[in-house]
Amino acid sequence: MTETVHASARALARVDLGAIERNCARLRAQLAGGAQLCAVVKADGYGHGAVGAARAALTGGASWLAVATAGEAEELRRHGLDARILVMGALTREDARATLAAGAEAVVWDPAFLRALPALLPEGAAPARVHLKLDSGMGRLGARERSRVLELADLVESEPRLELVGAMTHFATADEPGDEHFPLQLERFTALARELKARKPGIVLHAANSAAVFRDPASHFDMARCGVAIYGLDPFQGDPAERGLEPALSLSSYVARVERFEPGESAGYGRTWRADGPTLVATLPIGYGDGWRRGLSNRCDVLIRGRRHPLVGTVSMDNVTVDLGRESDVRVGDEAVLIGAQGAEAIRAEEVAARLGTINYEITCGLSPRVRRLWQAAGES
């Protein structure tokens, strides 16, 4: 068939910043007792773009931002974001220095690290603001005993160049309704929270992730740290609309070629798919180099002209192929949607994740820098 030059991006992620704003407003309304919302924008805003997502989240009602690394905090500051930033991950000495220089707040669970912080402050800087972390059952970072967290609190209070501003934990199974581990973690942190609040009434206590926000208001404390839900992804891997959330990201490519295949002809490496009969096959210039995982070979759909078509053959680094059927009005240059809506049909990140046996935000985090991002502000069409 005749091919034409197509001007659209080969791999394009459109990000609706208005959806992020509205999701944050929805989450704020869900929080009990006037709890604050902390928007988690680590990993480049779960693939949505950290800076744009952060600005949209703050407009939507978030009052804090959270990241995993010092470099992520520095990036937000470079772009003029002056909200309070919490760096949640483990920090080397140089990471800690950069965190403090960015005016961000560090999470602490180790006495030696805590003692080292004052010497890393920039000259003349305000005291380093720290959050103590209890490992209540995640089994990763944090002090495992409540008594140790209280000892850390005493250590902070004894050092004038440190300021105790928060205490936190993180839930391992909040997204598994009915499990027994989440209530146990909540009980452990609540006991610590009471003691810390009695000592320091102004301390900010925070534990809830997106799933916990919807699961149990008792987990909200003074602040909730929401990541996946602010992007309109369902923390329980279901339909985001059931929780009033709007997916913010869509992913598209375009039809670069359409060819008729005869029975037995194959598409892609390894000949993992062969035509059963005469059919039309479209090639889209997107692949695992863009983050469209090879595990989706022969096991996902693509929307073209508002209809679902199966992806066939092996996903390669730069291309995928789609079976259009014996007859089709699809033409070179048509938009192909891999995540998002087209006409009356929609493919959610949750569906793609289910095909891979993973979670929705691994899909968006996995989109590579080669995918062009187009940010749409609230009110734009």
Q: Mean of the pLDDT values across residues 355-370? A: 98
Contact status, residue 158 vs residue 165, Cβ threshold 8 Å: no
**Domain of 343, in residue numbers:** 248-347
| Pair (184, 332) in one structural domain | no
Residues 93 and 193 in one domain: yes
Residues marked active site are found at 42, 269
Task: Give the list of residues 6+ apart from residue 357 with CB closer than 8 angstroms, or none.
Answer: none
CATH number of the domain at 121, please. Answer: 3.20.20.10
Residues 67 and 134 in one domain: yes
Confidence of residue 381 (pLDDT cuts 50, 70, 90): low
End-to-end CA distance of the chain: 34
CATH of the domain at 257: 2.40.37.10
Q: For residue 58, is it within any domain?
A: yes
pLDDT at residue 3 greater than cutoff 70: no
In the prediction, which pLDDT does 7 show?
43
Q: Do 169 and 133 touch, CB atoms closer than 8 A?
A: yes
Indicate the pairing of strand 372-376 with strand 301-304. unpaired
Domain boundary among 239, 264, 280: 239
Residues 120 and 215 in one domain: yes
Q: For residue 141, is it within any domain?
A: yes
pLDDT of 296 above 60: yes
Please tell me the predicted confidence (pLDDT) of residue 6.
45
205 falls within a domain: yes
Measured CA to CA, the distance from residue 157 to residue 228 in angstroms comes to 34
What are the pLDDT digits (tens) for 28-67? 999 999 999 999 999 999 999 999 999 999 999 999 999 9
In this structure, the answer to whether residues 163 and 51 fall within a common structural domain is: yes
> Token match 């053959």: residue?
313
In the chain, the number of structural domains is 2
